[in-house]
């Protein structure tokens, strides 16, 4: 699903992103509710990036990656921790691309997410290739999502990968490639 976000694009940077677990739902500009084999997942586009809410019989999990004023937790390269009965794995990378590479990757990702039944993308009005995009799925007992945050003024693309699964049964492959073939 593709939507135009009804907000002004602020001049944020990849370095302004912060990561948090367990935050209450923040005001969203667009949402996509998914049912993934017993797991309720809500993908949320915020004016300052994304939030994912996961609810299952084992409990809840909330991930926020956004430009949050006053946040003291910058975007980590990786996190592995226990959340209730779940193991939570998060990885992020920032890629700086040439203008042509950035434009091509932005078009490719927006097309992919727009056509995916579990995808949500929001573009900012009047700023070509400024977007946040998300995809979710369930695979081998884990709920997974990928996100992309585009900063065209710097040619930067921030990609994140998250997997949440039953403790002791989650295996996360290494690497955080942002190539379309490496999606969730």
Strands, E assignment, 27-139: 30-36, 39-46, 49-56, 59-66, 78-83, 86-96, 119-123, 131-139
DSSP secondary structure code for residue 6 in this structure: S
DSSP secondary structure code for residue 120 in this structure: E
pLDDT at 44 over 90: yes
Under the banding of pLDDT at 50, 70 and 90, the label for residue 138 is very high
- pTM equals 0.86
pLDDT at 3 over 60: yes
């Amino acid at each position: 699903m593709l939507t135009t976000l009804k907000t002004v694009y602020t001049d944020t940077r990849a370095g302004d992103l912060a990561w948090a677990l367990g935050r209450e739902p923040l005001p969203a500009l667009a949402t996509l509710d998914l049912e993934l084999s017993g797991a309720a997942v809500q993908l949320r586009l915020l004016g300052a990036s994304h939030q994912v809410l996961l609810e299952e019989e084992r409990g809840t999990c909330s991930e926020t990656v956004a430009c949050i004023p006053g946040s003291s937790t910058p975007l980590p390269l990786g996190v592995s921790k226990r959340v209730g009965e779940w193991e939570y794995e998060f990885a992020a990378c920032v890629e700086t691309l040439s203008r042509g590479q950035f434009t091509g990757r932005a078009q490719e990702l927006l097309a992919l997410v727009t056509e995916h039944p579990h995808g949500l993308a929001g573009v900012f009005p009047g700023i070509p290739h400024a977007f946040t995009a998300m995809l979710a799925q369930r695979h081998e007992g884990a709920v997974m999502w990928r996100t992309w945050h585009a900063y065209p003024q710097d040619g930067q693309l921030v990609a994140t990968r998250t997997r949440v699964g039953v403790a002791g049964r989650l295996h996360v492959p290494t690497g955080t490639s942002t190539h379309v073939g490496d999606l969730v």
